[in-house]
Structure 1
Amino acid sequence: MNKFILEHSPLVMALVDLRFTTIPKKKIEQGLEDFKSSLFDLGLSIFHESELNQVEAQPTTEGHLEFKTHKNQRFDFLSLQRNKSVILTTESLCFRTTDYKHFDEFKDFWTLIIEAFFNSFPQAKNAGMRRMGLRYTDVFLPQQDEQYTDYISEEWISHTHRASQLSTLNTFRQQRQTDHGIIRVELEERLPDNGTIELFPRDIQDPPPVSVSVNIKDIWKTASPSKYALLDVDHSWLPNEKEVMGLSIETINKSLQLLHGDSADIFWGILSAHAEKVWNKREIGEVL
């Protein structure tokens, strides 16, 4: 199968999010220093520890909702450039990067993280997978005399909509079942706020101690948008009631590979021919 990339990629961030049944806090404490050391060797040398307060609502026998607060530790590991980040809790492991060239490189680095995870917390193999998610965020920033809709295929936005300066997209959402999970696609129109371009979905904006940074790409510096758009593609696998999958490097990476296939098809299907030309679509391995 041919693999393609965009030389001037619109990608802001890619993340993989693994959820699992609770690993006892004692087990995390026992392996944390080893995990910290392994991630330091991978260049994730900034460490931050914080406490999460999660509120859970459960119905009572009287028909009311009972609210309970659960506390959990969150451990963040970031690169010095703040373009890579790993988040660990007793129930999850997440890898985020704004330094994304292509999927194979992303998957290889994730595999190193997973190997460090199992080496540091060997008892994690007794946990079960609760969710596996792969998420991509891209920004559609038009150049002068362009609209962001010029970068979107007519299968997603009609020619009439594209031709009208007054048309507005606001937010387009689609969710559907795939062979490997559920995929959510959100295309959100945004306006610059006093010249500021917000590049992250609102639900994954972390505070400065643990936030990731984006290197401003050259093609973004020449953009002059009155409107722009964020594309957010989130593909997740969830087990059914009879399916309990144990944690292992093989099962985790197999799920990631399957999730990526549908996500890539969605992305390439959204792009117009204009986008592929301006952003220079090319086959991986092609001589420039």
Structure 2
Amino acid sequence: MAIHTRRTQGSYAHMAIFFSFLAIASFFFDSPAQIAAGMQRILFSPSNLLTDYMEIAGVGAALFNSGMIGLMSLLLLRVTDVEMDGAAIASLVTMGGFALFGKNLFNSIPITLGALLYARVQIIPFRDVVITSLFATSLGPLVSELSFGLGLSRMSGIAAGYAAGLIVGFVVVPLSKACMNFHHGYNLYNIGFTAGLIGMFAAGILRMFDLQVETVLILSCGNDVILSVLLLTLFAILLVSGLHQNGWSFNGYWQLMTHSGRLRTDFVKKCGYGLTLINVAIMGSIAWLYVVMIGCSLNGPTVGAIFTIMG
């Protein structure tokens, strides 16, 4: 009887396939010209919540943006020699989700550079903070809003946005460590909590200069069927891959569910890569089913939320 050995490390190749699937799928929704025009609208959008890229740029451009952001983030992890563990997978999938409604290459770069600057000042490897820097790009809309949403001149706006992004990237690492003391690991998205505090501080500073950030509600609808097909295909691929890695069984899944999940619980290391993929597929399916059952439309924010749950 063959003994199955659990794999305790993720796969760069699998993540590349995941995001390549999203990028390639975009061309089934829109033409290359439409996607190029949509990407331009995405890059120059203020992008504050809730800006659905599927509405302002098209489903194809939104998926292409998600795929490209994911692949570039994956390349960054590869270059910095980061192990593909649970945290790395979570950061990548979360990046892909947020890239559907607020995150893009323009507003992510300065935050990542700010974290790189912090690593240089502290004389630590960038590898130690790169995952934190990816999560911190959740504040990308701050960069875009300063650049394009406050009526500043193009050059002044971009300079202000990138300066803010560099500051955010620089301070988010030490602040995130301090914020862990507030929730003791019971908030899985610790950087989200940290980013919320930074965002409130930034909004307060803008109000001091009579600069108001207007909330928006730009949402798409009418794409439920095709997006459901896309998501269910992804879930099926993840489930089959997980079962293959786990010896074509759900053996050990109950043990995975008995873990508290507190930070920093790494399911890839504790339970194996196969079971982690199975869990990702199941959680994504449950999230999709919930959205459908309550009658909510599948759009950038809801699909992005599903991706975040998967991560």
TM over 0.5: no
TM-score (norm 1): 0.22
More strand by share: 1
Q: Which has more radius of gyration? A: 1
Question: Which structure is richer in relative contact order (CA contacts within 8 A, separation 6 or more)?
Answer: 1
TM-score (norm 2): 0.21
More helix by share: 2
